[in-house]
Structure 1
């Protein structure tokens, strides 16, 4: 009986130590790190989208419109 109580006591003590180590562990990724990463991704995505929109609006679409008009211009 004493052996069983001693084993149970040791088990509980080991589990308490493991819990204390896990709770005092401050490694890893926090909420602020994740928020900063998401914010950076959103800003970079918006800049990329704005750049593509400007490129298509000023360079690609006028050229495409002119080529389509030239294709269907039977008089010229």
Structure 2
């Protein structure tokens, strides 16, 4: 029983050291880093959306409309 108690005590001591190291660790992401990443993602998304909107509005839709009219033009 003493061996078991020593093992438990040793295990708990190791776990306490791990918890203390984890809590004292000051590395990691800050709020400013995360905000900059979100801002970059929003700007890139807006640019991509504007590009797709321009592509579909000026190139794809007029061509599609013309092809649909040609398909249903029974006059020949």
Residue 55 of structure 2 is matched in structure 1 by 55
String of CA shifts for 1:19-74, please: whole Å, max 9, x gaps.
7x71xx43210000000000000000000000000000000000000000000000
Superposition TM-score, scaled by structure 1 size: 0.68
Q: Distance in 1 between matches of 2:26 and 2:36?
A: 19
Superposition TM-score, scaled by structure 2 size: 0.68
Residue 28 of structure 2 is matched in structure 1 by 28
Displaced runs of 4 or more, over 4 A: none
Q: Distance in 1 between matches of 2:53 and 2:27?
A: 41
- C-alpha root-mean-square deviation of aligned residues, in Å? 2.0
Residue 7 of structure 2 is matched in structure 1 by none
Matched, 1:68 2:68: yes
Instruction: Flag structure 2 segments of 5+ consecutive residues without an equivalent.
Output: 1-12
Number of residues of Structure 1 aligned to a counterpart in Structure 2: 59
